[in-house]
Amino acid sequence: MKSPFQQVALVGKYQATSSGVAGASTRKALETIGQFLLELGCDVALEIDTAANMGITDYTTMDVARIGETCDLCVVVGGDGTMLGIGRQLAPYGVPLIGVNQGRLGFITDIPFDNFHTTLQPMMAGQYAEDHRSLMQAKVMRDGHCVFTALAMNDVVVNRGATSGMVELRVEVDGHFVANQRADGMIIASPTGSTAYSLSAGGPLLHPSIPGWVLVPIAPHTLSNRPIVLANAAEIAIEIVAGRDASANFDMQSLASLMHGDRIVVTRSEYQVRFLHPKGWSYFDTLREKLHWNEGVA
């Protein structure tokens, strides 16, 4: 049966190369999945950096912009970091993504490579569940000017310097003062990112369907400073009041150095990432598997 996804892009593990055991494993996975897609009647292209890093020359190569303009589907082979990187870039084009997991946790790359044939075949025939995830638009404002901007799917994190003490942060929501917080930092996480750094810092899990964000202090000086869930229509601003060498991370993949008085302003992006999951997929199945819930229960 011919797939409804005629032009399919393959993207490999973030910053992987063909050298070493991990690189060889990624290359083999890409070649195996590429051949599988060809047998289904798809035209397969490899993302240009993936092809260069893996040394694969058997496929047409495309940069991200061309993938966004011409492809019906993107299959991402790797872990959640790989998906975060390509998901942000393809969101403006509306290209759906399927994640085949070669990482560790795999909350958003949820198809195990060992079983991809069985799972992917019905999906490629049009039997899938679709899941949309909102992105955050973040800006660093300095003296009224934007000096850095980035999209984030997981989180925006303000951190203290590596060798310094706490930072003092002024937090505002929709222009209303919330609190001055002394802490090691602050996390603004989406529902997608609620299973990442936010979870490690004591934040709650947010179901992907909730139009909200969670604001989580990192090791706050005052223990009454607790995580809070906010509507994602709000504008969140974090100002650097005191502390040395602070920085802002966006999905832990891009970094901005901060100065006193800088404001990190986060709003909901107009773009969403489209994930495709196997038919019958459940977020709770993912949580049980990845967080090892119910282990030891008879």
Strand partners, 61: 46
pLDDT at 18 over 80: no
**Residue 1, pLDDT score:** 57
What the chain holds in terms of domains, given with CATH numbers, is 7-126 (3.40.50.10330), 135-270 (2.60.200.30)
Average pLDDT over residues 80-96: 95
Least confident window among 94-108, 140-154, 222-236: 94-108
DSSP state of 239: E
pLDDT at 114 over 80: yes
pLDDT at 105 over 80: no
**Residue 161, pLDDT score:** 81
**Residue 295, pLDDT score:** 72
| Burial of 118 (C-beta count, 10 Å sphere; 0-12/13-18/19+) | exposed
pLDDT at 298 over 60: no
Choosing from 80, 131, 184, 262, the catalytic residue is 80
pLDDT at 121 over 70: yes
Q: Which of 23-32, 158-167, 174-183 has the highest mean pLDDT?
A: 174-183
**How much is the pTM?**
0.92
Residue 223's pLDDT band, with cuts at 50, 70 and 90, is: confident
Average pLDDT over residues 167-193: 96
From residue 267, give the alpha-carbon distance in Å to each of 87, 140, 178, 202: 18, 12, 17, 23
**Residue 7, pLDDT score:** 97
**CA–CA separation, 90 vs 93, rounded Å?**
5
**Residue 13, pLDDT score:** 78
Least confident window among 1-5, 15-19, 173-177, 200-204: 15-19
**Residue 279, pLDDT score:** 93
pLDDT at 180 over 90: yes
Report which residue type is found at 240: I
Q: Is 80 in the active site?
A: yes
Residue 61's pLDDT band, with cuts at 50, 70 and 90, is: very high
Average pLDDT over residues 84-95: 96
Residue 144's pLDDT band, with cuts at 50, 70 and 90, is: very high
Average pLDDT over residues 244-257: 93
**What pLDDT digit, counting tens, does each position of 64-81 carry?**
999 999 999 999 999 899
Q: What integer best gives the mean pLDDT of the chain?
A: 92
pLDDT at 22 over 90: no
